[in-house]
Amino acid sequence: MASNKQVVLITGANAGLGYEVVKALYATSTPYELIVGSRTLSKGEDAIKSLKSEVPSSPSTLSVLQVDLSSDASLEAAVASISSTHGRLDVLINNAGAGFDGEIRDGAMSIREAFNASWDTNVTGTHVLTTLAVPLLLKSANPRLLFLTSGTSSITETDPAIWGAFPALARINASPAKGWPKPKEVNPLTSYRSTKVGLNMLMREWVRILKEDGVKVWAISPGFLATGLAGIGKETLLKMGARDPSVGGEFIRDVVEGKRDADVGKAIRSNMIQSW
């Protein structure tokens, strides 16, 4: 049965940034139908239990939906479920992502395996889901489409003239010493940041495709957050300068609530536009 509440699907919502996005929306006075997308239903159900414990009172509704970006069948079933249950989708937050650079570093995956897995999840799967979901978004009175990019995807900021004055940028863009092989990095990013550059172009393509349909589209760059995405412990990430994931959740909530409508079609940070 259709609801007057805004229907919001967040992928990868059982942990990390996705969890914080759901929590930020669940804690507001605005009523939402919040769909917790998770590859594993039990993990999504556990996340909902935790959310209800952390936020005991909310006008919003929580439900879990299996969303596996590596499986077309899973994505087709997920969109069919939203269609039959809600009849529309007001907000799609493409948050789910993966990074496999650590597996390359540690010899657990080949370069080809890791790059293919990263692109399949971060770009291809996201594109498949978005394509399937667009008919439901077009049934919304105020459709919003968000793609979670990364601050590491800025090509402009790889220029030494730009990053030289900023320690945080130097950490990911400075060159290692001469010689081969290069030292192993604590947080390697080559395949991950490459996919996020691709995701930025995918976002721009959806801006072009949906320009006449009234869909507001962004790439969201939430900043360096201690989400554990690359298999690095939260405490280690915090020592490296990462912020708590709740900061990113609040930022994305603000986008959903219309506070960055002037910046549609761009890659946005919480306090600025991110350069390409």
List the catalytic residue out of 26, 32, 58, 196.
Answer: 196
Q: What is the pLDDT of residue 238?
A: 65
Q: What is the pLDDT of residue 164?
A: 84
Bridge-based pairing of strands 61-66 and 32-38 is parallel
Q: What is the pLDDT of residue 157?
A: 95
What is the C-alpha separation between 32 and 125, in angstroms, rounded? Answer: 25
Instruction: Give the residue, 241 or 36, on which the prediction is more confident.
Output: 36
Say whether 57 is catalytic: no
List the catalytic residue out of 26, 153, 192, 216.
Answer: 192
Instruction: Give the residue, 238 or 153, on which the prediction is more confident.
Output: 153
What is the C-alpha separation between 195 and 263, in angstroms, rounded? Answer: 22
What is the arithmetic mean of pLDDT over 167-183?
91
**Residue 175 maps to a domain:** yes
Classify residue 107 as left (phi > 0), alpha (psi -120 to 50) or beta: left
Q: What pTM did the predictor assign?
A: 0.94
List the catalytic residue out of 74, 150, 154, 194.
Answer: 150
**Residue 1 maps to a domain:** no
What is the arithmetic mean of pLDDT over 57-74?
98
**Residue 82 maps to a domain:** yes
How many domains does the chain contain in total?
1
How far apart are the two ends of the chain, measured CA to CA in Å? 42
Residue 163 sits in a domain of what CATH number? 3.40.50.720
Query: What range defines the domain where residue 60 resides?
Result: 6-273
Q: 256 is written with which tokens? A: 């959903």
**Residue 186 maps to a domain:** yes
- Are 204 and 265 within 8 A, CB to CB? yes
Per-residue pLDDT tens for 213-227?
A: 999 999 999 977 667
Q: What is the pLDDT of residue 266?
A: 98
- Pick from 144-148, 180-184, 185-189, 216-220: least confident: 185-189
Main-chain phi, psi angles of 50, to 5 degrees: -65, -40
Say whether 196 is catalytic: yes
Query: For residue 236, what pLDDT band results from cuts at 50, 70 and 90?
Result: low
Per-residue pLDDT tens for 103-134?
A: 999 999 999 999 999 999 999 999 999 999 99
**Residue 266 maps to a domain:** yes
Among residues 72, 50, 52, 70, the alpha carbon closest in space to that of 60 is found at 52
Q: pLDDT at residue 45 above 90?
A: yes
What is the arithmetic mean of pLDDT over 18-41?
97
Query: For residue 151, what pLDDT band results from cuts at 50, 70 and 90?
Result: very high
Query: For residue 31, what pLDDT band results from cuts at 50, 70 and 90?
Result: very high
What is the C-alpha separation between 193 and 154, in angstroms, rounded? Answer: 9
Report how far Cα 52 is from the mean position of its chain's Cα atoms: 22
Say whether 259 is catalytic: no
For 111-245, strand residue ranges (E) read 144-148, 216-220
